[in-house]
Structure 1
Amino acid sequence: MPYWDLFTDRELWIQLGILAVVTLGVYLLLAVAMRVVSRQLMQRNEKSHSRIFFFASAMLAKTSRLLLFAFALMIGLKSVELSPGWESAMSHGWFIVLAFQIAFWADHAVQLWTTTLNRDGKTRNPVTTTLLGIIMRLVIWVVMLLSILANLGVDITAMIASLGVGGIAIALAVQTLLSDMFASMSIGIDKPFEIGDFVVFGDIAGTIEHIGLKTTRIRALSGEQIVISNADLLSQTVHNYKRMDTRRIVFTFGISPQTPVDKVRQVSVEVKRIIDSMENTQFDRAHFFAFNESQLTFEVVHIMQTPGYNDYMDTQEEINLQLLETLRRMEVRLAFPIRKLEFIGGHLPEVQVAGTPQTASANEAPFGNRPGHG
């Protein structure tokens, strides 16, 4: 009987025994080798704190035991005599096993990357990071699937064309959502602003609270939360004050036009002395700038060394107080708007001051008797 001949075929059993021994031996050898290498990489990571060793160790630990056994089986099949049909199947088997394992490693590497960034606080836009991770993992598995199909002899050209047409149809249907999604990705990659930054655009000023997949939320200075789509936000000019290292401050003040010249010269010197005594700012210049109406105008420039607006206001207040004190000590008056009325010819009318009649000057006529009036 043919089936009984299979059980009594000594050569077949020898081949199967060789296959089993080689497969099991290679599997155990590979498993032990990967465990030892993974442990060594982890120890290197603990000593040097290098992310390369950490990623390499984590990826080795993610090696599929089933695929490892399949790899060992492929090697075992090489050690026995096989028919041409089995040789062809083995060539496809090698590729499938390696493709799946590489896809597992790449997928796990992407997961580690996104998880590490979000956990360590290195990313200010976790939604964008997660979205990038999902897209990258999807690309990995699609490429792996298409590669396996192509290796098996399947014509993937029509499939890729169908995916392209379907993708265009979906993109047209959700183009607004995709526009905001790509804007979110652009924010995450280019980082024009991050969570916690103080930004100003248009008539809106506030702190970035959340950068989402479709919208960005801003806490305005007046307290309310402003929600704006990512695409609309990136289409505007955004001023990011959080990244301002220094702040150039220009302010003016005026003194009385009757101030003597020597004291006018001394004012600039005193302004420099006051600003030099401040810790958070650096003096740039102070000049008698212009003759304006009712005042001699000074223009002062100093550079704040800290970007905080409250720090700037505290420093400017102290500069103003010391300047006011110094001008009073120098007996220099600050200028205020002055209006003068001049009467030419005629007499001022009589005025009552505390009930006592006051007579106008003898050489000035009343308004009714001014020249040119009847």
Structure 2
Amino acid sequence: MGFEIKEAAIPFIFGFSSFIILIVLRSFIFRFLNKWAEKTKTKVDDIIILSLKKPSIFWCCAIAIHIGISTSKMSEKYSILANKIIEILIILSITIALANLLVKILRNYIEEEKLSLPTSGLFYAILKITVYIIGFLIILNLLNISITPIITALGVGGLAVALALQDTLSNLFAGIHILIEKTIKIGDIIKLEGGQEGIVEDITWRTTRLRTISNNLIVIPNNKLSQSVVINFSMPEKPMTISIPISISYSSSPSKVEEILMDELKKAKEEVEGIFKEKEPIVRFSPGFGESSLDFTAFVFVSEFSKQYFVQSELRKRIFERLKKEGIEIPFPQRVVHLRKEKDE
């Protein structure tokens, strides 16, 4: 009995000691690699190091088990089983490392090249799941397990799962449809028919998240979003038109007012940040004759949706000061009432 315990203890001690040594060695190696990566300009080395950090623990474990087996006198049956465990650990760790590496390198490449590709959480989740499925199938093949019965069982149980997760699957496929159609992307500013408005922060497997101008978060189920009427202020291009209504007194000359407004808008185009320089401003005598004023509308192009509020504020201040300087009155709403006195019969 004492001999059997000794036989089991020696491989365990060797394996455990090897694992501790490998973990310490791994820590020194990654510390050196991190210092080296800080000196380089590219982010790729940082991504590779970060992606290998967790899987390397599995590699240390696999090596330690192998050392323990090498020092033991276990039967061939148990030796084969232990080697299978080592192979599974290696495949599992490589699968995790590859999934993380692909996602992070792809995200970094899209950001650096500024490509118009879907970069939402759902897109990266699908990519990771695909890699995990491939790794899982390799492990099943290693264990000599046929996947045909598994696929059959999944087919039989798939209907019940689909019925139970009807809403979840509806949101998942709606999210995939939104990504493929590319009518809404991360960073776009959208407005729903219900009045919700904000910047698209992320499109996940279940919901789409909007951040409002007041820095609040709106969470919308993908299914509801795909069925809603959406205004996308970032498409087909970011520059957009804003309109500023301007009312002046009936005692003013419409031609002179139009000339003054155009002059002020052209100056503002060169001086105010956010105005789109490649488009000329427009002034129109429209809607025209108001109840107590002559009504004009100034149309100005801004570089993007978020700039419109600052531009409108600056233009209103400039127009007000210019009209005041030119002696043009901005009238108050007023009505002329005629009182008719009836004669006594």
TM-score of the superposed pair, with normalisation by structure 1:
0.54
**SS in structure 2 of the partner of residue 286 of structure 1:** strand
Whole-Å Cα distance in 1 between the matches of residues 317 and 265 of structure 2?
9
Deviation at 1:206, TM superposition (A): 3.5
Deviation per CA, 1:139-160: give whole Å up to 9, x if none: 25522332213xx3x4332222
Partners of 1:62 and 1:108 within 8 A in 2: no
Q: Which amino acid aligns with 1:286?
A: V
Q: How far does residue 201 in structure 1 lie from its aligned partner after superposition?
A: 0.8
Q: Give the 3-state SS of the residue equivalent to 1:308 in structure 2.
A: helix
Shift of 1:184: 4.9
After superposition, give the CA deviation of every residue in 1:237-292 in whole Å (9 maximum; x if it has no partner): 33345788444123455667776xxx544333211222234313365223556875
Aligned to 1:360: none
Return closer, same or farther for 1:256/1:129 CA change in 2, 3 Å cut-off: closer
Aligned position for 1:268 = 258
Amino acid at match of 1:308: K
Contact 1:290 1:298 in 2 (8 A): yes
Shift of 1:199: 3.4
Distance 1:310 1:222 in 2: 13
1:233 and 2:203 equivalent?
no
Higher normalized contact order (CA 8 Å, seq sep 6+, divided by chain length): 2
Name the % identity.
Answer: 19
Partner of 2:243: 250
**Distance in 2 between residues matched to 1:99 and 1:226, nearest whole Å:** 43
How much has 1:220 moved relative to structure 2? 7.4
Rounded to whole Å, the distance in 1 between the matches of 2:298 and 2:132 is: 59
What are the equivalent positions in structure 2 for 1:168-179 lying under 5 Å apart?
168-179=159-170
2:141 matched residue in structure 1: 147
Bigger mean CA offset, 92-101 vs 170-179: 92-101
1: distance between equivalents of 2:221 and 2:57? 39
The answer for the alignment partner of 1:101 in structure 2 is 90
Secondary structure of the residue aligned to 2:228 is coil
Residue 104 of structure 1 deviates from its aligned partner by 0.9
CA contact (8 A) 1:210 1:217 kept: yes
1:135 corresponding residue in structure 2: 129
Letter in 1 for 2:224: D
**1:300 partner SS:** strand
Task: Label 1:269 to 1:246 Cα distance change in 2 as closer, same or farther (>3 A).
Answer: same
1:302 maps to what in 2? 300
Which segments of 5 or more consecutive residues in structure 2 lack a partner in the other structure?
A: 1-14, 71-75, 112-117
* Corresponding residue of 1:285: 282
SS in 1 for 2:242: strand
Paired letter, 1:301 = F
Q: Residue type matched to 2:137 in 1? A: V
Cα RMSD, aligned residues only: 5.7
CA change 1:49–1:42 in 2 (3 A) is farther
**Match of residue 5 from structure 1:** none
- Structure 1 pair 65–288 and aligned structure 2 pair: CA distance change class (3 A): closer
Matches of 2:94 and 2:142, distance apart in 1: 17
Q: Does 1:64 align with 2:54?
A: no
Change (3 A) 1:297 1:101: same
Distance 1:222 1:40 in 2: 44
For residues 57 and 108 of structure 1, what CA distance do their matches in structure 2 show?
10
Q: Deviations over 1:312-355 (max 9, x none)?
A: 4412421441354255x26x7869898899xxxxxxx8779xxx
Q: Helix, strand or coil: the match of 1:64?
A: helix
Give secondary structure in 1 for the equivalent of 2:146.
coil
CA–CA distance in 2 between the matches of 1:56 and 1:206?
38
| Equivalent residues in 2 for 1:181-200, closer than 5 Å | 181-184=172-175, 192=184, 194=186, 199-200=190-191
Residues 31-82 of structure 1: CA deviation (Å, up to 9, x unaligned): 79x969867754542221544333444527345234336778999xxxxxxx
> Partners in 2 of 1:181 and 1:137 — Cα distance?
19
Shift of 1:311: 1.1
Match of 2:150 among 134, 142, 159: 159
What TM-score comes out, normalization by structure 2 length? Answer: 0.58
Residue 7 of structure 2 is matched in structure 1 by none
Shift of 1:170: 0.9
Q: In structure 2, the residue corresponding to 1:303 is in which secondary structure?
A: strand
On the 8 A contact 1:44/1:53 being kept in 2, the answer is no
Is contact 1:107–1:140 with CA below 8 Å preserved after alignment?
Answer: no
Equivalent position to 1:54, from 38, 41, 46: 46
The equivalent residue for 1:81 is none
Q: Which residue of the partner structure matches residue 7 of structure 1?
A: none
Q: Which runs of 5+ in 1 are unaligned?
A: 1-23, 76-85, 342-348, 358-367, 369-374
Matching of residue 45 in structure 1 with residue 37 in structure 2: yes
